[in-house]
């Protein structure tokens, strides 16, 4: 790849605006809901799927349900989207606050990451 193309792709990556928000995994069988913040919702889903499929997720209850019911036994969705200006800023605190609001709205829900 030539330097001009590489520079253009790097600049495009820096300026992208991923969807940030709270992701939700709900077990269809039990109704249990797990919520977590994600700086990029699609990447968040991919990461969680990989950890769960590999049996490496730290949330034991979520891992157990995934093992029993598989991916098809879960409804994956974005519970809330964070509106933000600068994609290069750290939005961790805002995402955690948004997750806490979602947890308050859904008393039966728990955090994806303990």
Is-contact 21 98, C-beta < 8 A? yes
pLDDT at 8: 84
The phi-psi region of residue 18 (left if phi > 0; otherwise alpha if psi is between -120 and 50; otherwise beta) is beta
Per the structure block, which two tokens stand in for 102?
Answer: 């979602």
Q: Which residues contact 29 (CB under 8 A, 6 or more apart)?
A: 65, 68, 69, 73
pLDDT at 102: 98
In tens digits, the chain (114 residues) has pLDDT values of 788 988 888 888 777 789 999 999 999 999 999 999 999 999 999 999 999 999 999 999 999 999 999 999 999 999 999 999 988 899 999 999 999 999 999 999 999 986
pLDDT at 113: 87
Say which residue the tokens 């955690």 belong to: 96
pLDDT at 88: 81
pLDDT at 33: 98
């Amino acid at each position: 790849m030539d330097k001009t193309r590489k520079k253009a792709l790097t600049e495009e990556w820096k300026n992208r605006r991923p969807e940030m928000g709270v992701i939700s995994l709900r077990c269809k069988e039990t109704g249990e809901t797990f919520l977590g913040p994600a700086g990029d919702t699609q990447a968040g889903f991919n990461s969680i799927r990989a950890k769960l499929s590999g049996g490496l997720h730290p949330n034991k209850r979520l891992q157990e349900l995934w093992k029993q019911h598989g991916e098809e036994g879960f409804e994956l969705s974005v519970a809330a989207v964070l509106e933000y200006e600068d994609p290069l800023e750290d939005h961790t605190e805002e995402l955690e606050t948004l997750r806490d609001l979602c947890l308050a709205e859904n008393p039966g829900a728990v955090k994806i990451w303990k």
